[in-house]
Structure 1
Amino acid sequence: MNASFNPAIRQSFPIAGMTCASCVRRVELAVAKAPGVVAASVNLATEAAEVTFDPAAKVDAAGVIAAIKGAGYEVPVETSEVGIEGMTCASCVRRVELAIAAVPGVLKASVNLATERATIETLAGAAPRAAIDAAIRKAGYEPRRGDAGATAGTDSRKEAHDREMSHLRRDLAIAAVLTLPIFVLEMGSHAIPALHRWLAMTIGQQPLYLAFFVMATLVQFGPGLRFYRKGVPALARLAPDMNSLVVLGSTAAWAYSVVAVFAPGVLPSGTANVYFEASAVIITLILLGRLLEAKAKGRTSEAIKRLMGLQAKSARVERGGEFVDVALEDVAAGDVIQVRPGDKVPVDGVVLSGSSFVDEAMISGEPIPVVKSEGAEVIGGTINKTGSFTYRATKVGADTLLAQIIRMVETAQGSKLPIQALVDKVTAWFVPAVMVAAALTFLVWLALGPEPAVAFALVNAVAVLIIACPCAMGLATPTSIMVGTGRAAELGVLFRNGEALQSLKSTQVVALDKTGTLTAGKPVMTDLEVAEGFGRDQVLSLVAAVETRSEHPVAAAIVAAAKAEGLALDEVGGFEAIPGFGVNAVVGGHRIAVGADRHLARLGIDVQAFAEAAARMGEMAKTPLYAAIDGRLAAIIAVSDPIKPTTPQAIRVLHEMGLKVAMITGDNRRTAQAIAARLGIDEVVAEVLPDGKVAAIKRLREGGRAVAFVGDGINDAPALAEADVGIAIGTGTDVAIESADVVLMSGDLLGVSNAIALSKATIANIRQNLFWAFAYNASLIPVAAGVLYPISGTLLSPMLAAGAMALSSVFVLGNAMRLKRFKAPVREVASMTAPVLAAAGSETTP
């Protein structure tokens, strides 16, 4: 990972109709050729394409959709209507249309002035109603409530999934009812001679075959029609997929049987055999496999469903001087909201009045409710306990913390890992190669096989076509990613992209920031020694006044100490912050400078007078700061940031995992060395500026070592971006979180070892899936072709091939689902089972 930021525009496109890895490859190649597209990544499990557009070019969603349709697949599109108030003329109409059309995911917007309604076409689930409403408001108009809006992405995809499940159940039931009599009577007559004689005497062979023909034809062109709808156009485009293989295999068996029943004379003598049971069973078993796949794929997205379940459905918002219940999507930033005992907090905001205890376990992992009073921030999805309060909404819709968490999980689940590149290369030629293999199988058996050669050739060629469907290959990676990242979210670990999930397992060095990462990030002032000629209260008052303008935790500690002593703080002027050095300001006519020794050195002020005190403080892991008043050294101030309770255990666990641990900090070297000695940290890089942290990461990487950096502050963002994997403490700043690849929601370092362990488990699971998928095809295609026949007389019937093909996908999905039972190697003191998802299962009112 490098420090540059990619300004490219990304948009997700849902895709319907993909069934295997070759579909994925075909869509990616088609979309990559669309105008303005820089890259395209298609995920079979999420059934979506993540498309990256050139920021210099216009986003051409229509071009991407045309490319997807040209490849033979569909892009689900929703049409909705929104009422709009405030329009008066045609220019209003145009303004609203342009505003709505600019929302990502909107394909077309048509506004009618007479009816005051907008008809909107959107990609399924891509443009939530809240985003459209916000665009209308930004244009100067008001969306009218009570109208059918765009369905939320999760709901629309769930509806589509449920609809597909219903169709699969119906088709499978029909196919099974029609196939079972054919299978029982045909195979039973071969296995039981008495049954064969009874059927011949009571029904007769020709009437029986006619009945088989009717039932098999109903299966072939009833439930089996879904394969023709996709497979035949794919064949026509010379881009065959899994459906094409099913169509070729089942149709060959069915058509040969039709000829054997109605025109046996055209076939060589002794070859007029019927395979209606094979054609019907192939379709039935593949439908069964599709149904089992759909069920398992539905379970892989449970993490998103549970996250969505954390959201409140409504809010009590002040309207006209009284509080009324409104739908969550009606809440706007700036609204005043009332929260009663037992309520979920609807959106993010700041408390205006009242106080209560709020359960924030879903975010912090801390089981003890947090007190909230005037000025405190509250987070949407958390649960109010005993009291009542009102607060002003600051973030709504997609801007809330919970929505960002959902977006992170969705992004990670839709990612494509580097390991998937191998699958893509193979599947690019796999299906055509299978068709060639089937054709060669037919020709070899026809030329060299025993009599009836045509029958042997047909059966083995069909078996090759059916068993080689690359469904398992396409599902091997994305299903593991979906389940693995979902389980990670349950443990309070959010992977922001799939690459981090793969690369984290290779980490050899974990580099840690100190403040807010190793320590609590809430330092306290412990010492203040003044130089001769200065009074303690005077110095503390002046320094604290300057520090009121700084957001640094050390500044907050000094201000808190001054307030605790009841000192008055004067107005501050000319404030200047120099990152990595200190601050300058003017207070009460005095020029004040506060910072590290290097800051005063830049100002030409010698700090040697406090050398002994600084050494003593450093040995006690206290951070020394210096203050100068009017160009004279005035005081040395010691601030100590307590180490988090779980930090020693976290360092110990990382060492047990065979990892080296380094600390990179801008703090005083003596202080850093003291902390490192207490914690057993292997390497220390101290007194570095933000760009120095980047250089330190590069040095740690020497020798080919993979480095993960853990930080929480704005000054950590460059290092987070530079590291092979950046891990942000979720209680840190938004900039740090945005720069990271992994976010630890609890703020606890034990999450690092959990993240690494889960990365290793997920990648191991993917490799198991890929091995099974590749080994399955590599080993069974030759068996289906009949290579064992000369040795042992073994042949693989098309029916068994269809069953094995379906089971291979079910095996891969079942193996991926094992990640749901992943156990974290360590449990955090603050009960890490609680964050994010576990809260969904424990929401109770007091």
Structure 2
Amino acid sequence: MNDSRKKKLLTPELVGAALKDSLIKLNPVAMMKNPVMFVVEIGTVLVLLMVLFPAAFDAPGSRGFNAAVFFILLFTVLFANFAEALAEGRGKAQADTLKRTKTEMKANKVTETGIKTVLSTELRKGDLIVVEQGEMIPGDGEVVEGVASVDESAITGESAPVMKEAGGDFSSVTGGTRVVSDRIKVRITADPGESFIDRMISLVEGAKRQKTPNEIALNTLLTSLTLIFLIVVVTLGPIAGYLDIDLEIPVLISLLVCLIPTTIGGLLSAIGIAGMDRVTRFNVLAMSGKAVEAAGDINTMILDKTGTITFGNRMASDFIPVGSCSRELLPVWAAIGSVKDDTPEGRSVLDYMKKHGISYDAAIAEGGEFIPFQAETRMSGIDLTDGRKVRKGAVDAVRQWVQAQGGDVPEGLDANASAIAAEGGTPLAVAVDKKIYGLIYLKDTVKPGMKERFDQLRRMGIRTIMCTGDNPLTAATIAREAGVDDYIAESKPEDKIAVIRREQAAGKLVAMTGDGTNDAPALAQADVGLAMNSGTAAAKEAANMIDLDSDPSKIIEVVAIGKQLLMTRGALTTFSIANDVAKYFAIIPAMFMAAIPQMDTLNVMKLGSPLSAVLSALVFNAIIIPLLIPLAMKGVAYKPMSGNKLLSRNLLIYGLGGLAAPFIGIKLIDLVVHVWI
């Protein structure tokens, strides 16, 4: 697991920096971006003026009360700023670390006169560098010479090093990773400012991001509620005067602050920033907050079969004897022919033997001459020291090899080979000298746990569609084993775009994973496009998320994080509005029951006095924000369930909780405040 995911939510350094930023954010220009808290700040300033210049406001006898209101309002604003600063601070700390890494790295640049040591910031696209064992790779690039084991834990969090080699699918290297063995020559593929580290710095500093559409809509709602309560509170002044109730401006400001949605207003920005931070700590590079939020609203998920649902390698899944050969003998000779075979197929034979507890004498192959696979022969094998020859490979190639030595083709060979091919598998024949023993059934195996993952998505209300170039029979088999809802066989790049557009036309949001250039159009079309870090540049440019671990199935976790972001925002909004309802019934009856005795029926809290009711509600309003900061940062615990169940759960926990908390909290605070007043 990535160490960054284990970091504590709060550290002394992080809290200290957030406290400093909380004061800086008091700048009215910055506060105007949050209308709810801007209204609170204006109220704070007005009350401060009344404390400093009471005569100017004709309030000479209420200086102590006004001072108490001022400090409570000030802490309310500071706590809201602290929540946002804390969320931003986690990203800034990570950005500072990345910046130090970038500026301190050196590079061994290949020049016409030899090797020259330069700073990594001096490298340009196309430059050649040499990286030795123990050295950091100074920039993104492609391996052009050599093979090396690279530790990518600083980027992906995975502790096991990965092999990087020239000319293969794993030739791409990332700046900031370390070579742990051997030596490689790398061609830089990104100019300064365009590397992975630069993108990471940009992302984690992206706390000052544009608001997402849902966030804008919620912000508009909160602003509207603030205006409504502002009108209500302003009209209370004349009403109170008519009833001969003395409601001073600080009391009305306090009432306004208690009634407007300050809780969610103070935490809204922090929730969004923390959501992006959780995605980053899960090793996914999100290009915008909108992409993270969209992931939470996904209805349909398009997945490639190869490498996503299946391993992408043909692996031994069964042995089928032919002729007079026994089922026990065939695997033994298949294993002996694979002992020195380093191809994925050869290794899968030995893995199958180990997994199923089938024993064989590997010593038989010792000293034998390995015959590697060649395109011309389409076979591999081994010539044993006792003169016997073992071959495995394409059925027709092995048949011809056996017949050339005077052997016969056993009954059932072609029929079984055809049956394997019809199911989308690949048959490999195994022969020893003049006799064909049987067939190895190779197939692209579904990854463990995929069926459970798709069941989880189904509980989320997400439909899964598998795209594959396989024939319909093979596609149906894999789809059934994996448990996807639908599949597209013999699919081409345009087919993926077509299905995405069809789903979007039906009003659905679509997610897709991919890593190839042919996936780029579909990744761009999808609402959430997750490209693999090991994929092509075209795929990464088209997507709005990049998975640093290159695990295509991680789209499932990304969706869960997106849903957690939306759940957290919804839960705290529900809690905040329920709070406001409870505070309304707590304050208004206490303030007016002296003039309107009938309102005593609504005074269920039996608060000490109108002033203690206002101060108690104001104190509760201030302390509830810091109490909810950990929840805003960590997010509401997410469990896969339908939208209706999710809504019912939120209303039950955060709706009823939001109603009950103020009644309990304000009453307890009033017991103390009433004595003080």
Report TM bin, short chain.
0.5 to 0.7
Cα shift readout 1:681-725 (whole Å, capped 9, x = no counterpart)? 332221233222233345567876654333333333343344454
Q: Distance in 2 between matches of 1:335 and 1:824?
A: 48
- Provide the C-alpha distance between the structure 1 equivalents of 2:206 and 2:306, rounded to a whole number of angstroms: 29
The answer (yes or no) to whether the contact 1:408–1:494 under 8 Å persists in 2 is: yes
Using the TM superposition, name which of 761-770 and 316-325 deviates more. 316-325
SS of residue matched to 2:422: helix
Are 1:412 and 1:498, in contact at CA under 8 Å, matched by a contact in 2?
A: no
Distance 2:21 2:505 in 1: 57
Aligned to 1:810: 626
Aligned partner letter, 2:277: G
1:358: Cα distance to partner? 0.9
Q: Residue by residue, what CA displacement relative to the aligned partner does 1:291-333 show, whole Å, maximum 9, x if unpaired?
A: 4444433332324532653544221344875766644433333
Q: Deviations over 1:140-197 (max 9, x none)?
A: xxxxxxxxxxxxxxxxxxx99988844867x9xxxxxxxxxxxxxxxxxxxxxxxxxx
Instruction: Indicate if the aligned counterparts of 1:438 and 1:464 stay in contact, CA closer than 8 A.
Output: yes
1:731 aligns with 2:534: yes
* 1:617 alignment counterpart: 421
Pairwise CA distance, 1:758: 2.0
Q: Is the 8 A contact 2:110 2:130 kept in 1?
A: no
2:97 alignment counterpart: 309
Match of 1:281 in 2: 68
- Cα deviation for residue 391 of structure 1 reads 3.1
Alpha-carbon shift at residue 472 of structure 1 (Å)? 3.6
Instruction: Please name the residue that 1:296 is paired with.
Output: 83
How far the C-alpha of 1:428 sits from its partner, in A, is 4.1
Give SS of 2:149's match.
strand
Q: Does 1:244 align with 2:39?
A: no
Give the direction of change, closer, same or farther, for the CA distance of 1:719–1:618 in structure 2 (3 Å limit): farther
8 Å Cα contact 2:107/2:129 also seen in 1? yes
- Structure 1 residue 399 displacement after superposition: 1.9
1:484 maps to amino acid = G
CA distance in 2, matches of 1:757, 1:507: 10
Cα shift readout 1:797-838 (whole Å, capped 9, x = no counterpart): 56545534433433443321223988999xxxxxxxxxxxxx
Q: Structure 1 residues 765, 623: closer, same or farther in 2, change over 3 A?
A: farther
Is the Cα–Cα contact under 8 Å of residues 69 and 254 in structure 2 kept in the other structure?
Answer: no
Aligned AA for 1:279? Answer: N
Cα 1:348–1:695, aligned 2, differ >3 Å: closer, same or farther? closer
SS in 1 for 2:466: strand
2:244 aligned partner: 449
Equivalent in the alignment of 1:480: 271
1:329 to 121, 126, 132: 121
Structure 1 Cα separation of the partners of residues 463 and 212 of structure 2: 26
Q: Does 1:740 align with 2:556?
A: no
- Tell me the TM-score normalised to structure 2 length: 0.62
- Residues 712-748 of structure 1 show CA distances to partners (whole Å, capped at 9, x for unaligned) of 3333334334445434344333333333344433333
SS in 2 for 1:709: strand
Q: 1:378 aligns with which of 160, 170, 173?
A: 173
Q: Does 1:391 align with 2:160?
A: no
Q: Deviations over 1:110-133 (max 9, x none)?
A: xxxxxxxxxxxxxxxxxxxxxxxx
Aligned residues of 1:729 and 1:743 also touching (Cα < 8 A): yes
> Which shows bigger deviation, 468-477 or 438-447?
468-477
Q: Which residue of 1 aligns with 2:141?
A: 349
Tell me which of 437, 441, 463 is aligned to 2:254. Answer: 463
Amino acid at match of 2:97: G
CA offsets 1:325-358 (integer angstroms, 9 cap, x no match): 6444333334444434443322112345665321
8 Å contact kept, 1:304–1:486: no
Task: Please tell me whether the aligned partners of residues 364 and 746 of structure 1 are also in contact (alpha carbons under 8 angstroms).
Answer: yes
**Alpha carbons 1:314, 1:346 under 8 Å: kept:** yes
Q: Is the 8 A contact 2:514 2:532 kept in 1?
A: yes
Q: Which residue of 1 aligns with 2:288?
A: 497
Change in CA separation of 1:661 and 1:745 when aligned onto 2, cut-off 3 Å: same
Q: For the Cα contact (< 8 Å) 1:511–1:709, is it kept in 2?
A: yes
- Output aligned runs, 1:434-583, within 5 Å: 434-450=229-245, 453=246, 456-467=247-258, 471-521=262-312, 564-565=373-374
- Contact 2:22 2:82 (C-alpha < 8 Å) held by counterparts: no
The corresponding residue for 2:214 is 419
Deviation at 1:515, TM superposition (A): 2.8
Please give the secondary structure, in 1, of the residue aligned with 2:635.
helix
Contact 1:446 1:457 in 2 (8 A): no
CA contact 2:50–2:56 (8 Å) conserved in 1: no
Q: Distance in 2 between matches of 1:291 and 1:623?
A: 69
- Residues of 2 paired with 1:350 and 1:525: CA distance? 32
**Is residue 795 of structure 1 aligned with residue 613 of structure 2?**
no
Secondary structure of the residue that 1:662 maps to in structure 2? strand
**Structure 2 residues not aligned, in runs of 5+:** 1-12, 318-370, 378-413, 429-440, 594-599, 642-677
SS in 2 for 1:397: coil
Q: Does the CA-based 8 Å contact 1:249-1:465 persist in structure 2?
A: no
Confirm or deny that 1:693 pairs with 2:496. yes
1:558 maps to which residue?
none
State whether structure 2 residue 161 is matched by structure 1 residue 369.
yes
**One-letter amino acid of the counterpart of residue 813, structure 1:** I
Change (3 A) 1:343 1:514: same
Residue 786 (structure 1) shift: 5.7
SS at match of 2:302: strand
Q: Alignment partner of 1:350: what SS? A: strand
TM-score (norm 1): 0.51
SS of 2:189 mapped into structure 1: strand
Q: Distance in 1 between matches of 2:294 and 2:223?
A: 25
Over aligned residue pairs, what C-alpha RMSD do you find? 4.6
Percent of aligned pairs with the same residue? 24
- Superposed CA deviations along residues 389-444 of structure 1, whole A, max 9, x for unmatched, are 45332224332234334545666882533332433323444555444334322222
Q: Is the 8 A contact 1:504 1:756 kept in 2?
A: yes
What does 1:180-195 align with in structure 2 at a 5 Å threshold? none
Structure 2 counterpart SS, 1:460: helix
One-letter amino acid matched to 1:728: A
Q: Deviation at 1:640? A: 6.0
Cα distance in 2 for residues equivalent to 1:160 and 1:324 = 40
State the Cα distance separating 1:751 from its structure 2 match. Answer: 1.7
Which of 471, 477, 487 matches 1:674?
477
* Residues 796 and 818 of structure 1, relative CA distance in 2, 3 Å threshold: farther
- Cα 1:362–1:820 shift into 2, 3 Å: farther
1:400 alignment counterpart = 195
The answer on whether the counterparts of 2:465 and 2:487 sit within 8 Å (CA) in structure 1 is yes
How far is 1:447 from its partner?
2.3
Q: 1:616 to 1:336 in 2, by over 3 A?
A: closer
In the alignment, is the contact (CA less than 8 A) between 2:296 and 2:565 conserved in 1? no
- Distance, in Å, in 2 between the alignment partners of 1:495 and 1:769 is 24
Please say if residues 132 and 184 of structure 2, whose CA atoms lie closer than 8 Å, have aligned partners that are also in contact.
yes
| Aligned-partner Cα distance in 1 for 2:460–2:470 | 28
Do the aligned residues in 2 keep the contact of 1:316 with 1:323 (CA within 8 Å)?
no
Cα distance between partner residues in 2 of 1:663 and 1:167: 48
Q: How many pairs are equivalent?
A: 503
Residue 671 of structure 2: aligned partner: none
Q: Structure 1 residues 309, 614: CA separation in 2 closer, same or farther (over 3 Å shift)?
A: farther
Alpha carbons 2:14, 2:86 under 8 Å: kept: no
Cα distance, 1:326–1:784 mapped onto 2, change above 3 Å: farther
Please give the secondary structure, in 2, of the residue aligned with 1:246: helix
Of residues 255, 258, 268 in structure 1, which corresponds to 2:55?
258
Quote the Cα distance in structure 2 between the aligned partners of 1:457 and 1:799.
Answer: 13
Q: Secondary structure at the match of 1:399?
A: coil
CA distance in 2, matches of 1:287, 1:240: 12
1:186-265 equivalences under 5 Å are 230=28, 241-252=39-50, 254-255=52-53, 257-258=54-55
The answer (yes or no) to whether the contact 2:147–2:183 under 8 Å persists in 1 is yes
What is the rounded CA distance, in whole Å, between the counterparts of 1:323 and 1:355 in structure 2?
A: 19
